[in-house]
Amino acid sequence: MKKIEDLNVKIFADGADKTGILEMHSKSFIKGFTTNPTLMRKAGVTDYKAFAKDILKSVSDRPISFEVFSDEFPEMERQAMEIADWGDNVFVKIPVTNTRRQPCYELVHKLTRSGVKLNVTALMTLEQVRDVTDVLASEIPSYVSVFAGRIADTGRDPVPLMAAAVELLKNKPKAELIWASPRELLNVFQADSIGCHVITVTNDTLKKLALVGHDLDDYSLETVKMFYEDAKAAGFTL
């Protein structure tokens, strides 16, 4: 089994908790950061711009993505231009459609040709990957985020789709595929094995890194001990 430091896939920390972001920023194997309005809300963020500007004081050396939050494309464009101006390392997250299922492709085409670095997000089909890739500017760095974890939640194996997406993105060498919403640490190794460029991982999952390569006999014994100690601490009797 590969060690984390030997993987080719880049690990991005996914979250909106400042303490957690700064903790991950101290780790050299974390190559970037992503967040979204849902994560920000869960973290108690109330001032979007102030939060982003505060994080960027510490995270200026690695890519970080902030998402627009309008449902109207003209306002998405305005927000995207403002967010892009916050730093050279900032990527603007644009949802693949709005809530009315209208695709974002015209906006992506316009923004990338204005020099905006995008992270097009919430993709789940190869058709979406193909259509987004077609409109990206070849010379501008970008990310295409496919929510592999959510695909898996529907009972579908995301690995073949992600492998096909890697091939589609070869048409745009500045674009990188993100394996988004992973459900377990194994996904990091799956993403690496198919040549996926990036995987976003939450702090909770990153805490499992110490288990990589752990002896399974030892892990079995540790689990048995956990059950025994918890039963004893609970005072169970029969």
d(CA 57, CA 86): 10
- With H, G, I as helix, E, B as strand and everything else as coil, classify residue 193: helix
Closest by alpha carbon to 148, among 189, 180, 119, 123? 180
Neighbours of 54 (CB within 10 A): 13
Q: Are 11 and 30 in contact (CB under 8 A)?
A: yes
Label residue 157 left, alpha or beta by phi (over 0 means left) and psi (-120 to 50 means alpha). Answer: beta
d(CA 120, CA 128): 10
pLDDT tens for each residue of the chain, 238 residues long: 778 888 999 999 999 999 999 999 999 999 999 999 999 999 999 999 999 999 999 999 999 999 999 999 999 999 999 999 999 999 999 999 999 999 999 999 999 999 999 999 999 999 999 999 999 999 999 999 999 999 999 999 999 999 999 999 999 999 999 999 999 999 999 999 999 999 999 988 988 988 999 999 999 999 999 999 999 999 999 9
Q: What does pTM read for this prediction?
A: 0.94
Residue 214 is predicted with a pLDDT of 92
Instruction: Output the CA angle 87-203-199, nearest 5 degrees.
Output: 65
Closest by alpha carbon to 42, among 192, 203, 166? 203
- Residues identified as active-site: 93
Closest by alpha carbon to 222, among 233, 211, 232? 211
d(CA 56, CA 171): 32
Across 12-39, b (16+ Cβ under 10 Å) vs e yields bbbbbbeebbeebbeeeebebbbbbeeb
Across 133-157, b (16+ Cβ under 10 Å) vs e yields bebbbeebbbbbbbbbbebbeeeee
Residue 236 is predicted with a pLDDT of 96
Between the alpha carbon of residue 172 and those of residues 9, 95, 140, 168, the distances in Å are: 18, 19, 9, 8
Q: Are 164 and 197 in contact (CB under 8 A)?
A: no
H helices of 12-85, where?
A: 18-25, 37-42, 48-58, 73-84
Show the tokens assigned to 60: 């200026």
CATH class of 4-211: alpha beta
Between the alpha carbon of residue 98 and those of residues 36, 43, 72, 91, 107, the distances in Å are: 15, 24, 7, 19, 11
Q: Render 99-132 in DSSP notation, one character per residue.
A: TT--B-HHHHHHHHTTT--EEEEEE-SHHHHHHH
